[in-house]
A and B are shown apart, each in its own frame.
Chain A
Amino acid sequence: MWKTELTASTDHLTCPFCGLACDDLQLEHQDPNGPIDIRNGCETARNAFTQLMAAETRPPMIAGRPVALEETLERCVSRLREARAPLFGGLATDVNGMRAALSLADQCGALLDHVNSDALFRNQLVQQDSGWMTTTLTEARNRADLVVLIGSQWHERFPRLIERVLSPPEALFTETSERRFVLIGPNESQAVPAELRGCIQNVIQIENRQIGALAGLLRGLVAGRPVRADAIPDVNAETLLTLAEQLKSASYALFVWSAAELDFPHAELTVQALSELVRDLNQTTRAAALPLAGTLGDITVNQVCTWQSGYPLRTDFQQQGPRYDPMLNRHQDILARNECDLLLWIAAIPGGGDPPSTDCPTLVLGHPGLLLERPPEVFIPVGVPGIDHPGHWYRSDAACPLPLGQIRDLGLPSVAQILTQLGQRLAQTAQEETPC
C-alpha cells in the first residue's frame, strides 16, 4: 500500500531484499524509537529489516570527513561537470531513483550499469536474440504440474519460493500434492530442501556448466531427433528419456532458474537452450520458463531504463542520445580498462558489496549501514526504499511492480531527491556559463 504517512502496523509490508518481493510481511513498530517486530518474512528479510533499522546513520562525508550535505552536493556537481565518461553504477535503487538517474545520465552523458547486470544479461540477451515464453508467480503457483528446478541455489537465493509458489496450501488447477519436481544441477541429495522432498521425482546431478548441453539433449529427445540419450557421462539415459516423455505429457511444465547462479562465461547460451526447449514443448502442450531475478533491483532499474531510453542497462548517453552495448559497456570492464573518469555508485539497498575499487573519483549514495573499506571522495547517506521512503519495486517476473512503504523518518533524502537536486544544479551552472 502506498502511503505518505509512516506505517506503524501492517500485515502487507513489501520486502525489497530479494526478487520475490513478498508483500505479506507483518510489521509492528508502535514506538518509533523502539525495535521493530517483523513476522512472516524469511530470515533474510527479518535480518535485513532489523539490521537496517538499527544501523547508525552516518553523516555526509568528503574523503571520510563529515561535512554538510550542501558541500557534498557541490562537489558532486563539480565532478559531474568535468567528467568525460561518468559511470553510474550499483543502481540498487527503486523506480524513482532510477528515473532520476536516467535524467541525470542524459544530462551528463553518462553510462549506466547495475551491480548485478551479469546475471540480468544472461536472460536479457536471450530475449533480444530469440525471445522466450515465460510465466509469472501466480500462474506458476496455480498451474504447474511438473517443475524443473535448474541449479542448486534457487532456494537460498529465493527463500520463500517453495512456500509461496512451488508448494502452496492449494492451487487452482492442479493438486499441489501431486506436483512433481525434477532437480537438475549440482545438487547433493542431502541438500535438497525438506519441504520438497516428498514430491521429488528426480535429481539429475550435473555441473551448471553442462546444463546447456543437457538442455540441447532434451530438445533433441523431445523432438525425436537421433541424439544419444547416454551422451552425457554420469547422466542416466533412462532418466532423460523418461523426463522427455513427461515434459511432453505435462499440462504445464515449468522451468525455474536463477541466472545469477549460472555464473560462467556465455551462460546466455544455456538460458537460450532452456528457453528453446520450453518453446518446443509449446508446440503440443503448455510449458513456460520462470527466470528468478530481481535481486537488488536489477529488474526494477532495467524496466525503467528500457522504457525511458528504449534500451536495457549498459546504455550510455555520451553522444547526445542513448547507445546500448552489453559487451563493451559492462561496468567491470569499463573500470578495468580505466575508461571511466568518474564513478557514481548507488547502493540504497544493502547486499551489493562495496563499490569497485578504482582510481577515478567515486561518489557514493549509500544506505545508512554502508561501511566502506576506503572512504570515497563523496559519501551521501540515503534512505532505503521501503524503510525510509515509499517507492516502487519490481518482482522477479517483471510483470508486477509493488508499492513499498515507509517505516521511519530520519530525514534521510532518497536517491531520487539527491539526483534530482544534482540535475537541477547542473542545469543552473550550465545556464550561468552560457554567454549571453
Chain B
Amino acid sequence: MSALTLRLRECPRQRIDLSGFTSDALAGKSLADIQALPLWVGNRQMPAGDLFIIHGHDSDHIRIESESDRLDGIGSGMTRGSIRIQGHAGAYLGRGMRGGEIQVEGDASLFAGTGMTGGLLRIGGNAGDFLGAAIPGERRGLRGGRIEVRGNAGERVGDRQRRGMILIAGNAGDYCGSRMGAGTILVLGQTGANVGFAMRRGTILLTSAPELPPTFNDNGPQDLSVLTLLAKSLPSPFDQIGERGTRVQRWLGDLGHGGQGEVLAWPPLT
C-alpha cells in the first residue's frame, strides 16, 4: 500500500492550516474526498487537491513533500499512524499529538510538539523557538512522548514542559528550559543565556557549562549512576552521552521561584 502523499504544488504566500490531515481524520476517506477537503489559505478556502498533488491510499502513512515553512499544525492531535515530511514543516508541528510518529527531514518552525502527550516527533533539521513549550494561555507544554532534534533548537525550549523528553543534538538558544515543570531536556551542543529561568522541576542535561540565573545554587560534582541507564534508553546519536560517564556538575533552581529543578553538565571530553 502506498503512503498517502501530498506534494505541495507551489509555496504559498499565506500559511496553510493542515491540522485536519492526520491518520485519524482521514481514515476511511477516498482519494477524491481528500482532494476535495477545504483548506484555508489566508481568507479564502481551496480544495486540498488545488494546493497539493495527492496520491496514494494508506492514510496510516502520510507523506508530505514541501519546501514551504508555512504548513502549520501537521499531525495535530494524532493518536496513531505516521507522518513523514520531506522538506520543512511550519508551526505547531505535532501539536497535542497523543501517539504515532512524525518525522520531518528539514526544519520545523515555532511551537513544535506543544501540548504533546505521547508519540515520537523527530526533526532532522532545526527547530524554531518554543519547542515543546506551552502556547500563550495554556499552562503546559510537552506532556509526554519524545521530541528529537538533529540540528539546533531556538529559544525557550521546553517552556512550561510538564513531562516527556526533548533531545537536541545541536545547540539550543536562550532560556532553554524556562519555567519547566517536569520532564527532561538533553542538549549535546551549546546553550545560551538564562538556562532554566524560573524552572520549577525537571532535569536539563548539558555537555557544556551553562549560563544560569543567579538564583541557581551549585550543588557541586555528583556521581549519578542513573545516567548510565538513561544513556542506554536513548536512541542514536543521543546515546553517546554514555561515553561521558556518570560524573556531572549539578545545580539546583530556580530557587528564586521556589524551584527544585536540576541542571546537570558533564565536563568537556578530553
B217 x A228 contact (CB < 8 A): yes
Contacts of B136 in A (CB 8 A): 125, 128-129, 326-327
Does A108 sit within 8 A of B, measured CB to CB? yes
Interface size on B, residues (CB 8 A): 37
Contacts of B134 in A (CB 8 A): 129
Does B175 sit within 8 A of A, measured CB to CB? yes
A85 x B255 contact (CB < 8 A): no
Contacts of B174 in A (CB 8 A): 265-266
Does B238 sit within 8 A of A, measured CB to CB? no
B43 x A338 contact (CB < 8 A): no
> Chain B: which residue is nearest A128 at the CB level?
B137
Contacts of B41 in A (CB 8 A): 84
Q: Would you list which residues of chain A between 208 and 240 have a CB under 8 Å from chain B?
A: 212-213, 215-220, 223, 225-228, 231-232
Does A196 sit within 8 A of B, measured CB to CB? no
**How many whole Å from B17's CB to the nearest CB in chain A?**
8
Does A319 sit within 8 A of B, measured CB to CB? yes
Question: How distant is the Cα of A339 from the Cα of B41 in the complex, in angstroms?
Answer: 10
Contacts of B15 in A (CB 8 A): 328, 339
Question: How distant is the Cα of A83 from the Cα of B13 in the complex, in angstroms?
Answer: 12
Contacts of A272 in B (CB 8 A): 198
Query: Binary interface profile of A, 274-286, with partner B (CB < 8 Å = 1, else 0)?
Result: 0010000000000
Name the contact of A269 in the complex, choosing from B91, B198, B258 (C-beta under 8 A). Answer: B198
Name the contact of B215 in the complex, choosing from A217, A317, A318 (C-beta under 8 A). Answer: A217
A219 x B110 contact (CB < 8 A): no
A220 x B256 contact (CB < 8 A): yes
Does A90 sit within 8 A of B, measured CB to CB? no
Most buried by B among A125, A216, A219, A228: A216
**How many whole Å from A236's CB to the nearest CB in chain B?**
13
Does A298 sit within 8 A of B, measured CB to CB? no
Question: How distant is the Cα of A353 from the Cα of B10 in the complex, in angstroms?
Answer: 36
Does B214 sit within 8 A of A, measured CB to CB? yes
Query: Binary interface profile of A, 155-197, with partner B (CB < 8 Å = 1, else 0)?
Result: 0000000000000000000000000000000000000000000
A216 x B155 contact (CB < 8 A): no
A319 x B215 contact (CB < 8 A): no
**How many whole Å from A221's CB to the nearest CB in chain B?**
8
Known: A216-B256, A225-B258. A265 touches B155 (CB 8 A): yes
A109 x B257 contact (CB < 8 A): no
Contacts of B258 in A (CB 8 A): 219, 223, 225
Q: Would you list which residues of chain A between 284 and 320 have a CB under 8 Å from chain B?
A: 317-319
**How many whole Å from B11's CB to the nearest CB in chain A?**
11
A266 x B156 contact (CB < 8 A): yes
B198 x A318 contact (CB < 8 A): no
Name the contact of B255 in the complex, choosing from A227, A232, A319 (C-beta under 8 A). Answer: A227
Question: How distant is the Cα of A19 from the Cα of B246 in the complex, in angstroms?
Answer: 56
A84 x B215 contact (CB < 8 A): no
Does A341 sit within 8 A of B, measured CB to CB? yes
Question: How distant is the Cα of A220 from the Cα of B255 in the complex, in angstroms?
Answer: 6
B110 x A328 contact (CB < 8 A): yes
> Chain A: which residue is nearest B256 at the CB level?
A216
Question: How distant is the Cα of A341 from the Cα of B194 in the complex, in angstroms?
Answer: 38
Query: Binary interface profile of B, 237-270, with partner A (CB < 8 Å = 1, else 0)?
Result: 0000000000000000011111000000000000
Name the contact of A339 in the complex, choosing from B13, B44, B130, B254 (C-beta under 8 A). Answer: B13
B255 x A225 contact (CB < 8 A): yes
Known: A227-B215, A227-B256, A272-B198. A266 touches B111 (CB 8 A): no
Question: How distant is the Cα of A83 from the Cα of B179 in the complex, in angstroms?
Answer: 40
Known: A108-B43, A232-B214. A339 touches B14 (CB 8 A): yes
Contacts of A219 in B (CB 8 A): 256-258
Interface residues on A, range: 35 or more
B14 x A212 contact (CB < 8 A): no
Q: Would you list which residues of chain B between 148 and 177 have a CB under 8 Å from chain A?
A: 155-156, 174-175
Does B21 sit within 8 A of A, measured CB to CB? no
Contacts of B255 in A (CB 8 A): 220, 225-227
Contacts of A85 in B (CB 8 A): 13-14, 42-43
Name the contact of A319 in the complex, choosing from B43, B91, B217 (C-beta under 8 A). Answer: B43
Question: How distant is the Cα of A273 from the Cα of B256 in the complex, in angstroms?
Answer: 9
Name the contact of B198 in the complex, choosing from A273, A337, A341 (C-beta under 8 A). Answer: A273
Question: How distant is the Cα of A328 from the Cα of B213 in the complex, in angstroms?
Answer: 28
Known: A227-B215, A319-B40. A217 touches B130 (CB 8 A): no
> Chain A: which residue is nearest B160 at the CB level?
A129
Name the contact of B44 in the complex, choosing from A84, A110, A276, A326 (C-beta under 8 A). Answer: A84
Question: How distant is the Cα of A226 from the Cα of B217 in the complex, in angstroms?
Answer: 8
Query: Binary interface profile of A, 225-261, with partner B (CB < 8 Å = 1, else 0)?
Result: 1111001100000000000000000000000000000
B257 x A273 contact (CB < 8 A): yes
A212 x B197 contact (CB < 8 A): yes
Contacts of A232 in B (CB 8 A): 214
Contacts of B179 in A (CB 8 A): 269
Question: How distant is the Cα of A216 from the Cα of B213 in the complex, in angstroms?
Answer: 9
Contacts of B110 in A (CB 8 A): 327-328
Contacts of A212 in B (CB 8 A): 194, 197, 213
Contacts of B207 in A (CB 8 A): none
Contacts of A228 in B (CB 8 A): 214, 217
**How many whole Å from A83's CB to the nearest CB in chain B?**
8
Name the contact of A216 in the complex, choosing from B70, B175, B254 (C-beta under 8 A). Answer: B254
B130 x A109 contact (CB < 8 A): no
Q: Would you list which residues of chain A between 108 and 155 have a CB under 8 Å from chain B?
A: 108-110, 125, 128-129
A84 x B197 contact (CB < 8 A): no
Question: How distant is the Cα of A110 from the Cα of B14 in the complex, in angstroms?
Answer: 12
Q: A129-B137, A212-B213, A266-B174 are in contact. List 14 more A-B contacts (CB 8 A).
A: A85-B42, A125-B136, A129-B136, A218-B256, A227-B255, A228-B217, A265-B174, A266-B178, A269-B198, A276-B257, A326-B136, A328-B91, A337-B70, A341-B42
Give the 3 A-B CB pairs with smallest separation, nearest first: A109-B43, A216-B256, A231-B214
Can you list 22 A-B contacts (CB < 8 A)?
A: A85-B42, A86-B43, A110-B43, A128-B136, A128-B137, A213-B213, A213-B214, A213-B215, A216-B215, A216-B257, A217-B214, A227-B217, A266-B175, A318-B43, A319-B40, A326-B136, A327-B91, A327-B129, A327-B130, A328-B15, A339-B15, A341-B42
